Amino acid sequence: MQLLNFCSYLLGFFSNVFSLGVILAISLLFLDFMKRRKRWDRYPPGPPSIPFVGNIFQVDFSNIHNNFRELTKQYGDVFSLQYFWQNMVVLNGFEVMKEALMQKSEDIADRPRFPLFESLGITGNSKGVSLAHYGRAWQEQRRFSLTTLRDFGMGKKSLETRVSEEAEFLCAEFQSLKGKPFDPHFLLNTAVSNIISSIVFGDRFEYDDGKFNKLLRVFEDALKAESGFFAQAKGDKDSSFNEKSLVVTTIDLFTAGIETTTTTSRWALLFMILYPEVQRRVHKEIDEVIGRNRKPTMADVLSMPYTNAVIHEVQRCGDIFPVAAYHMSYRNTEIGGYFIPKGTIVVTNLSSVLKDDRVWKKPLQFYPEHFMDVDGKFVKHEAFIPFSAGRRACPGEHLARMELFLFFTTLLQSFTFQIPDKMPRPQESPVLAVTLCPQPFTLCAIAR
């Protein structure tokens, strides 16, 4: 009898547990449905999502820009995704991006939360220029960054002189290798970092100097030098300026300024050894306009349409930031005829613009003629947006353009670059790391 009672108790217990489990599962599924359902008319279409995780398993993060390109074939240039319970809209193609970044720039000027940075204590007004939420804090940080860059010479002859001098140091390092095969990554990275170092720290480093081992000490000195700036914000409790925000903004400028230009310069040298006929035309134009003895200057850009076209095509074809840092809608808006509610993550697929077959004749090929007219003059396209556009456009665009032109022309003035003997042709397909960068390659720099 006791055994029967015990068995009856167990059956009742498990029956109750099962019932509770069913109720809980149904409740969670209902909650998930309420979270994922689209309550708005004209919300962008998208692939069906999986309960709780959304479309997270349907996106190839190692090839995300091409993954988005495939989704446009089914859902159009504006489509939606769901990352867990976060709504996301992906923008593709030149016409849509033009509307979003140029006509409705403020509508999508906000940034979402970045849990990784918040775990490091980088929150609120201390996120720097790139990650700060749109508002007064971001406006203060961006204004400070642009003003500081101008104070240190951006747009002035003094900074051009620094870049030219560093280009000469870089040439000397290439020359010291005496035509032997080498990977240019480290030397290019050092040269570019020296430009940012001269702006941020006031000095450059020798190529064999362990400068990164001294980075923390240099940052400390830089913060002390900037102590006077805080007195401007003293007494303003709402100001975004504090020690942490200045550190993050400095790191922001330093890292972004190095990675982008270094990677683009690597693409430039790779394309030169892969397309020797293009290199020969650049050599010819340099010899005709600058010669072999005078240093290139930014004024030469206007007289060198082909070289300028090559540099632009390197940026377009290299496509180093295929998907820009995520935006977030600052308010309700409409893009491409679709409604996008406030608080939605907005992804700008820049690659879909730089490789838009409705704009470019040969979107997937290296073709400098994209930037030249029938008369051989340089032509810049609206669809050329490697630095993004609008309120969140890269603040260091002018500096990057100067570095790319002066480094490229100085190197091509001095060297012929070629694939080392008995070595296979380097791969042109990229690797997605922090940026879309070339696979490691070696070349020979032959003095002209």
Distances (CA, A) of 308 to 289, 311, 380, 381: 13, 5, 10, 13
Q: How far is CA 262 from the centre of its chain?
A: 12
CA gap 111, 102 in Å, rounded: 17
Percent of the chain with pLDDT over 90: 51
Per-residue model confidence (pLDDT) at position 130: 64
Where b means 16+ CB within 10 Å and e means fewer, 147-159 reads: ebbeebbbeeeeb
Average pLDDT over residues 210-232: 47
Q: Worst-scoring range by mean pLDDT, 122-126, 229-233, 262-266, 303-307?
A: 229-233
Could you tell me the two tokens for 28?
């969670």
Average pLDDT over residues 249-272: 83
Confidence of residue 234 (pLDDT cuts 50, 70, 90): very low
Residue 236 has, within 13 A of its CA and on its CB side, a CA count of 13
Average model confidence (pLDDT) across the chain:
82
For residue 446, CA distances in Å to 89, 417, 441 come to: 49, 6, 16
* Mean pLDDT confidence for 401-415: 96
The secondary structure of residue 260, as a DSSP letter, is: H
**CA 353 to CA 72: how far, in whole Å?**
13
Q: What pLDDT was estimated at residue 49?
A: 86
Amino acid at 15: S
pLDDT at 123 over 90: no
Closest CA to 347 of 53, 41, 78: 78
pLDDT number for residue 128: 55
Distance separating alpha carbons of residues 315 and 264, to the nearest angstrom = 6
- Of the two residues 241 and 280, the one the predictor is more confident about is 280
Retrieve residue 213's tokens. 């081992």
- pLDDT greater than 90 at residue 283: yes
The position carrying tokens 């489990």 is 21
In this prediction, residue 247 carries a pLDDT of 63
pLDDT at 263 over 70: yes
Label residue 271 by pLDDT band (50, 70, 90): very high
- Among the residue ranges 25-29, 87-91, 129-133, 307-311, the one predicted with the least confidence is 25-29
Mean pLDDT, residues 51-74 taken together: 88
- Give CA–CA dist 288/39, Å, rounded: 64
Confidence at residue 96, expressed as pLDDT on a 0 to 100 scale = 96
Task: Name the residue among 314, 274, 318, 333 with its Cα closest to residue 409.
Answer: 314
Residue 255 pLDDT grade (very low, low, confident, very high; cuts 50, 70, 90): low
**pLDDT tens sequence across 10-49:** 566 566 666 666 666 665 555 555 555 566 789 999 999 8
Residue 154 clears pLDDT 60, i.e. is over it: no
169 pLDDT exceeds 60?
A: yes
Euclidean distance between CA atoms 422 and 442, whole angstroms: 12
Amino acid at 196: I
Q: Is the pLDDT of residue 444 over 90?
A: yes
Question: What is the pTM assigned to this prediction?
Answer: 0.81
Residue among 371, 417, 428, 399 nearest 149 (CA): 399
Above 90 in pLDDT, residue 432? no
CA distance 238 to 270: 49
For the segment 394-401, the average pLDDT, to the nearest whole number, is 84
Give 329's strand partners: none
User: With contact defined as beta carbons under 8 Å apart, do 325 and 131 qualify?
Assistant: yes
Contact 62, 320 (CB under 8 A): no
DSSP at 391: G
Q: How many CA atoms lie within 13 A of 75 on its CB side?
A: 20
Residues forming a β-bridge with 406: none
Domains annotated for the chain, with CATH where assigned, are 149-319+359-447 (1.10.630.10)
- The kind and range of the H/E element at 432 are strand 430-432
Residue 302 reports pLDDT greater than 50: yes
pLDDT of residue 426: 94
pLDDT of residue 308: 98
Contact (Cβ atoms closer than 8 angstroms) between residue 414 and residue 175: yes
The pLDDT score that the predictor gives to residue 40 is 78
Q: Are 338 and 43 in contact (CB under 8 A)?
A: yes
User: What Cα–Cα distance (Å) separates residue 130 from each residue in 84, 253, 352?
Assistant: 24, 9, 22
- Specify the higher pLDDT residue, 153 or 70: 70
Cα–Cα distances (Å) from 100 to 11, 38, 97, 321, 445, in that order, read: 61, 22, 5, 18, 43
